[in-house]
Amino acid sequence: MTVKLGLLGLGTVGTGVAKILLDPSERHPLVSKLEMGRVGVRSLDKPREVDIPPHLLTTDLEAIVADPDLDIVVELIGGLEPARSLILKAIHQGKHVVTANKAVIARYGDEIFTAANDAGVYVLLEAAVGGGIPVIQPLKQALGVNRIHAVTGIVNGTTNYILTRMQEEGGDFEPILRDAQALGYAEADPTADVDGLDAADKIAILASLAFGGRIKLSEVFCEGIRQVSAADIAYAERLGFVIKLLAIARRDTCPVSNDVLEHLQLRVHPTLVPKHHPLASVNDVYNAILVEGDPIGQVMFFGPGAGSGPTASAVVSDVLNIAGMLTSQVVEPQSKTQNPLLACSHQHYCQVSPMADIVSRFYVRLLAKDQPGVIGQVGLSFGNHEVSIESVVQIDMRGDIAEIVVVTHEVKESNLQSALNELRGFGDIQAVPSVLRVL
C-alpha cells in the first residue's frame, strides 16, 4: 500500500521534502511507500531544483485539499491565509495534515485541533518549532511521563546569529542586522524575528504541549533584541554572562514558599545567561531547547533551527508517523480513532501570570551625572521598593556622564519598575537605556 501526499508549496522546505521523497534509498523503508500525488505551486513555469513530473503540478490548491485520492496534506506555504483555510478544508475532507506553519498553529490551533479531533484526523507540526530538531514528538511521547517544570529555548536563528556576531565583534545591532540581511541570514523585513514574534509563536506551541493546555498567543510577553547594545553585551561579558533571546515557558512558583503554582510564565525577551549555562554556548543560527522536568531532570535538544533539509527532515518524520499507522491499519481513514500520543487532547486554556508578578534577577544600565550621592540615590530608590542589589559597577564614562550597571537579586518585576520610575524622577539620572532580565 502506498500513502498519497498532496504538497501545498514547493519553496525552500517543499523542495527539501520532494528531494527526500524522490530519493528514498537508505532511509526508513516506509519512505518508499510515500507517493507525491499532487504538488501545489504558485507558478507552473518556474525553474525547479527538483524533477517533479509536470502532470503533478497545479496552481489549484483548493483542488488538492479536496482530492479524494490523497491521504495526507502537507502544508508548506506559510503565512496565515490561505494556509489556515486550506488546513481546515483538508481536515473537513478527512485528510491528515502535516504543517511547518507556526504562525497558523499559534493563532488558530484551537480551531484547527478541535476540527481535527471532530474529524478523527491528525495535525502534526514537528517542523513548526526548531526546524530539524525533534522536540514536538519528544514532548508528546518520550517525555510524556514527566511533570514538566520549564521549557527554555533559543528558537530563533536570525536573532541568535545577530547576537552571536554582536558578542564576537563588539558591534551594535543595526549595522550587524544590515549585514545579516545582505548575507541572507535575516529577512528584508526582519520584524517577526528581531521583535521576538517568531519566538513567541514557537514558545506558545511548546508550552501548550509541555503543560497540556491551550495558550492565548496574546498572553505571551514579547520583547525583541533591537534595544540590546554593544555596551550591554560588553558589560554582560565582564559580569560572566552572554545575552540571548530566550523563549521561556515555566510553571510559576510562589516566591515565599517556593510551591509550584498552576499559573505559567510565558515570555520572550533578551536575557543575560550565565556563561556556564547549557544555552550560553548555542551560537550562530543554531537553536536549542532545554526541557526541565520530573523525573528526567534536564534534557537539551540542539540543532539546525531552519533550512531546507533540516526542516524537510522534520516534515517527513511527521508524514512517516501517519503513514506508519495508515499502512499498519492502526488507523482506518475516517475511523475517528486517534492515537492519544499523537493527537491533541487538551481543551482548556492555561492560566498565564502577568509580567508584573514575575520574579527575576535584573540587569539595569543607568546613565548618571558623575557626582557625589548618585550611587547612594540608586541604592536608596532600589531599597525603597525592596529591590536588593547584588552588584553595582561604574566602569565607563560617556563624556561627563557615568555609566552605572546594577545587577539585582531576585525581585518582583513590579517592584523593579517602581524603583526605576522613582529614579527617573531625579535630575542626576539622565537615562535608563537598558533593563534586561537575568536567567
Examine residue 9 and tell whether it contacts ligand HSE (CB under 6 A).
Answer: no
Q: How far is the CB of 107 from ligand HSE (least distance, A)?
A: 15
Examine residue 203 and tell whether it contacts ligand HSE (CB under 6 A).
Answer: no
Structure-block grid coordinates of residue 141: 511521547
Q: Which of residues 293-322 bind ligand HSE (CB under 6 A)?
A: 305-306
Q: In what order do the strands lie in the sheet with 57-58?
A: 57-58, 34-40, 3-8, 72-75, 96-99, 123-124
Q: Which residue from 142, 145, 110 is spatially nearest to 126, judged by alpha carbons?
A: 142
Examine residue 413 and tell whether it contacts ligand HSE (CB under 6 A).
Answer: no
Number of Cβ within a 10 Å radius of residue 388: 12
Amino acid type, 11 = G
Structure-block grid coordinates of residue 238: 565582564
CB of 308 or CB of 415, closer to ligand HSE: 308
Examine residue 157 and tell whether it contacts ligand HSE (CB under 6 A).
Answer: yes
**CA–CA distance, 316 with 45 (Å, rounded to integer):** 26
Q: Distance from first CA to last CA of the chain, Å, rounded?
A: 51
Examine residue 75 and tell whether it contacts ligand HSE (CB under 6 A).
Answer: no
Examine residue 198 and tell whether it contacts ligand HSE (CB under 6 A).
Answer: yes
Rule CB under 6 A: choose which of 101, 152, 158, 167 binds ligand HSE. Answer: 158
Examine residue 201 and tell whether it contacts ligand HSE (CB under 6 A).
Answer: no
Examine residue 16 and tell whether it contacts ligand HSE (CB under 6 A).
Answer: no
Structure-block grid coordinates of residue 347: 481543551
The whole-angstrom distance between residue 186's C-alpha and the CA centroid of its chain comes to 16
Total of residues contacting ligand HSE (CB under 6 A): 7
Query: Strand ranges (DSSP E) for 160-296?
Result: 221-222, 241-253, 260-274, 286-294
Catalytic residue selected from 202, 244, 275, 412 = 202
**Does 202 participate in catalysis according to the annotation?**
yes
Structure-block grid coordinates of residue 236: 554582560
Q: How far is the CB of 214 from ligand HSE (least distance, A)?
A: 21
CB of 196 or CB of 305, closer to ligand HSE: 305
Q: How far is the CB of 154 from ligand HSE (least distance, A)?
A: 9
Examine residue 65 and tell whether it contacts ligand HSE (CB under 6 A).
Answer: no
Rule CB under 6 A: choose which of 15, 156, 360, 434 binds ligand HSE. Answer: 156
CB of 52 or CB of 206, closer to ligand HSE: 206
Q: Which residue from 212, 273, 208 is spatially nearest to 246, judged by alpha carbons?
A: 273
Instruction: Find out whether 224 and 196 touch, Cβ atoms under 8 Å.
Output: yes
CB of 37 or CB of 153, closer to ligand HSE: 153
- Which residues are catalytic, by number? 202
Binding residues (CB under 6 A) for ligand HSE: these are 156-158, 193, 198, 305-306
